[in-house]
Structures are given as C-alpha cells and as structure tokens.
Amino acid sequence: MEEFKIQTAVCFGADALNCLKNLTASRIFIVTDPFMVESKMVDRITEQLKEKEYMIFSNVVPDPPLELVVEGVREVMAYKPDTVIALGGGSAIDEAKAIMHFSKQIGDLPDMEFIAVPTTSGTGSEVTSFAVITDKDKGVKYPLVDKSLLPDIAVLDPGLVKSLPPSIVADTGMDVLTHALEAYVSTKANAFTDALAEKAAVTVLKYLVKSYESPVDMEAREQMHYASCMAGLAFDMTSLGVNHAIAHNIGGKFGVAHGRTNAILLPYVIAYNAEIQDYNTKEYKTAAKKYAAIASLYGIGGVNIRSAVKNLIHQIQKMQKLMKMPVSFKECGLKPDEFHKAEEQIAEGALADGCIVTNPRVVSKKDILDILKQAL
C-alpha cells in the first residue's frame, strides 16, 4: 500500500502572509539572512506579529554551515520559542529546520510550530522533510531527512520574490526543474507525484526565462513560486536522483550555487538516464519515455522518444544560454587540475548520498566520472 499525504498547509497568493495574524504563538524565533533585514523584507513578517514577542536571528549564509546551526541551537535553547518562522531561500529554511531538529534532541523544549516563508523559487524546502547542512572543513553537504522537519505551514507570497536578481532567478529556477525531473523519473514516482512533477516541469519551461527577463512579470514570478513548491511536494515523496547526489558533493567542495551546479549536470544526467545512444532501439527505458512525455506536454515532442528527449535537452541548453548561465564547471571558474584531483572523492560521496537510491538507472562510480568529465 502506498500513501500520499501533504502534511504542510500551503497558504498562497498576494495576501498569504495574513495567515500569520491567526497564529496563537506568543514567542516567535525568526530565522533569516542579513539581506532580509537590510532590505526590510523581514518587516513584512513582523508587522503581522503585533503584540507578540519575537527575536530575529539573522546570520544565515548560503549553504548553511554546521557552526551557524550550533549558534542557532544555543539561541533557541535560551529563548524557548513556541513558534519558529524561517524567512528566506533554502538556506534560511534549512538552517531553521536543523536548529529545531537539534534543539529538540538536546533540550527539554515545548512543541514548536514551524512556518516557512520562501523568498526564492527554488528548493521547495517549505514542504520537504529535507535540510541540507554543509561541513565546510570536509567540503561535504549533509542532507538531514526526517518527517519531523516538515513545516506546519508554508506561505507562498509572490511579492517576496519580486526583488530576486536575474542570476538567482536562473540558478534557483533550474533547481526547480531538476527537482521536478528527478521526481518524475524516480523509482518511487507514482500517479500523484507525477501530476505535481509534470505541472512543475512544464511551468518552469514556460515561465523561467520570462521571470529571468522581467522582475515585473508577476505572472511569471508567481507561477515559478508555485512550481517550486509543487516540485518540492513531489520530491518529498519520491526523493531525487544522481543529479542531486553529485551536486551535493560539488557544492560542498567548490561553493558553486546549488541550482547552477544542478543545471550544469542536468543535460548529461538526462542523456545518461534515458539511454538513447542506440539508434536501433525500439525498447526505450521508462525514464526516456517520461522525459519525452515532458517534452510533448511542453509542445516539443519529437517523431520518436529519442528525438523528444533530445529536444528536452536542447531546450534546457537554450534556457541556460538565454539566462547567461555557465554551462560547465570551467565556466564557473573551477580549475581543471583541482577538479580532477577531487573527482574520485566527488564520485564516492555521490554514491554514498541518499538521493542516488531512487535514480532510475543503477549508477556506478565510472558513470559518475563520465558525467563529471562531460560537465567540466
């Protein structure tokens, strides 16, 4: 028996933050990054919390390191909040998740309500039981996976993503596409997750470049915000695949933005999973058929499965070009000799990453080294 359950209530729309007015909370711990304070975006939250006590913990940095989680745990233990609100991108939401997780393990704390307010359209962390924490010394990203990490409420206010600069729109948007496609071809995909993944993938193909080109195209920004959440709902159930398994090990070592790393790998991972090299094949793999289905839904299906998969790959490469994204790790400034030195470790780390388990094709170390060679 399988079960499909959405634990997080999703409030969405221009007035979604109004839901904070109904909180019964009295002591609120807000986890966010310095930009949210400087830009006064955090005021959008605090103005809903009249007559409530709150504390702002604003030291989140991209790819939150263990040390900052430890600092946050110390603050939570001292403040003893009944509610935690995370405001920011995946980094702020993941740091809040990790802080709550470890605080509950260490201390005798009351149950805390958890509200996630994403300000990037990327990770879907507002509806997932994943948190990614970075060990900077070892150069590794650790995914924590536990149902207790799931937020109680996710607030999707498209007004909060208006200020995103184009390069972050591009990086985070490609993360959404990677989540949607990895969820869609995952060995744990089902009819319900497919519906969410299809909608998310096609929405990214339709709206991401528009959102990149114009911050005032609110339809595009709004659609991308919802697509990010839908892809999160899908991969929370299906997990991800080799793309993220490799990305977690490159991001931790070389500090390339998460979505950008995923985007560089994505064309090679699709080709690898689809196994479309044999021109005489009539027996396409399920993954190939599913990639082709996304291409068809977007209106770029081909005369056969192989050409539809190729069209999808070309479309992704076209989007990378239109959004001026680097298409190789060299273009991100990584030195080939340093990259080569790290390859074995990246491949071993990827094989040990939990995301690899649900990849549609059983992956070997050599397969990962081949993907890395193409992506360098």
Ligand X SMILES: NC(=O)c1ccc[n+]([C@@H]2O[C@H](COP(=O)([O-])OP(=O)(O)OC[C@H]3O[C@@H](n4cnc5c(N)ncnc54)[C@H](O)[C@@H]3O)[C@@H](O)[C@H]2O)c1
3-state helix vs strand vs coil in the chain, percent to 5:
60, 10, 30
Residue 122 binds ligand X (CB under 6 A): yes
Report how far residue 56's alpha carbon sits from residue 322's, in angstroms, rounded to the nearest whole number: 38
For ligand X, the binding residue among 10, 63, 234, 334 (CB under 6 A) is 63
Q: How far apart are the first and last CA of the chain?
A: 43
Residue 222 binds ligand X (CB under 6 A): no
Using the contact rule CB under 5 A, the part of the chain among 40-48, 173-181, 326-334, 339-347 near Fe ion is 173-181
The residues in 106-165 that bind Fe ion, with binding defined as CB under 5 A, are none
Closest CA to 93 of 160, 13, 40, 39: 160
For Fe ion, the binding residue among 63, 171, 175, 236 (CB under 5 A) is 175
Residue 131 or 234: the one with the smaller Cβ distance to ligand X is 131
Closest CA to 35 of 74, 91, 77: 91
Q: Give the rounded distance of the alpha carbon of 228 from its chain centre.
A: 8
Using the contact rule CB under 5 A, the part of the chain among 23-31, 79-87, 174-182, 280-288 near Fe ion is 174-182
Burial class of residue 330 in the structure, from the number of CB atoms within 10 Å of its CB (0-12 exposed, 13-18 middle, 19+ buried): middle
Residue 286 binds ligand X (CB under 6 A): no
Residue 171 binds Fe ion (CB under 5 A): no
What would the two tokens of residue 161 be? 């993503």
> Given the structure tokens 């689809």, which residue do they identify?
274
E strand spans, the chain: 9-12, 27-31, 53-57, 83-88, 113-118, 130-135, 140-145, 153-156
Residue 175 or 222: the one with the smaller Cβ distance to Fe ion is 175
Residue 128 binds ligand X (CB under 6 A): yes
Residue 90 binds ligand X (CB under 6 A): yes
Residue 77 or 145: the one with the smaller Cβ distance to Fe ion is 145
Using the contact rule CB under 6 A, the part of the chain among 99-107, 160-168, 181-189, 299-307 near ligand X is 160-168
Q: How far is the CB of 175 from Fe ion (least distance, A)?
A: 4
Residue 260 or 285: the one with the smaller Cβ distance to ligand X is 260
Residue 163 binds ligand X (CB under 6 A): yes
Task: Look at the alpha carbons of 142, 146, 147, 152 in this order and tell me if their dihedral is positive or negative.
Answer: negative
Q: Which does 35 bind (CB under 5 to 8 A by kind): Fe ion, ligand X, none?
A: ligand X
For ligand X, the binding residue among 12, 19, 23, 35 (CB under 6 A) is 35
Please give the size of the binding site for Fe ion, defined by CB under 5 A. Answer: 1
Q: How far is the CB of 31 from ligand X (least distance, A)?
A: 11
Residue 72 or 122: the one with the smaller Cβ distance to Fe ion is 122
For ligand X, the binding residue among 19, 58, 62, 275 (CB under 6 A) is 62
Residue 103 binds ligand X (CB under 6 A): no
Half-sphere exposure of 277 (CA within 13 A, CB side): 5
For ligand X, the binding residue among 123, 239, 320, 358 (CB under 6 A) is 123
Report how far residue 294's alpha carbon sits from residue 72's, in angstroms, rounded to the nearest whole number: 41
All residues at 6 or more sequence positions from 103 whose CB lies less than 8 Å from its CB, including other chains: 73, 76, 77, 109
Q: How far is the CB of 289 from ligand X (least distance, A)?
A: 26
Residue 173 binds ligand X (CB under 6 A): no
Strand partners, 330: none
User: Reduced to 3 states, what is the DSSP secondary structure of residue 326?
Assistant: coil
Residue 132 binds ligand X (CB under 6 A): yes
Using the contact rule CB under 5 A, the part of the chain among 167-175, 205-213, 215-223, 286-294 near Fe ion is 167-175
Report how far residue 171's alpha carbon sits from residue 191's, in angstroms, rounded to the nearest whole number: 28
Residue nearest ligand X by beta-carbon distance? 89
Q: Residue length, the chain?
A: 376
Looking at beta carbons, which pairs linking 202-206 to residues 24 or more positions away fall under 8 Å? 202/294, 202/297, 202/298, 203/227, 203/230, 204/173, 204/174, 204/176, 204/177, 204/180, 205/177, 205/294, 205/298, 205/315, 205/319, 206/298
**Residues of the shown chain interacting with Fe ion in the complex, contacts defined by CB under 5 A:** 175
**Residues of the shown chain interacting with ligand X in the complex, contacts defined by CB under 6 A:** 33, 35, 62-63, 88-92, 94, 119-120, 122-125, 128, 130-132, 141, 160-161, 163-164, 168, 172, 175, 258-259
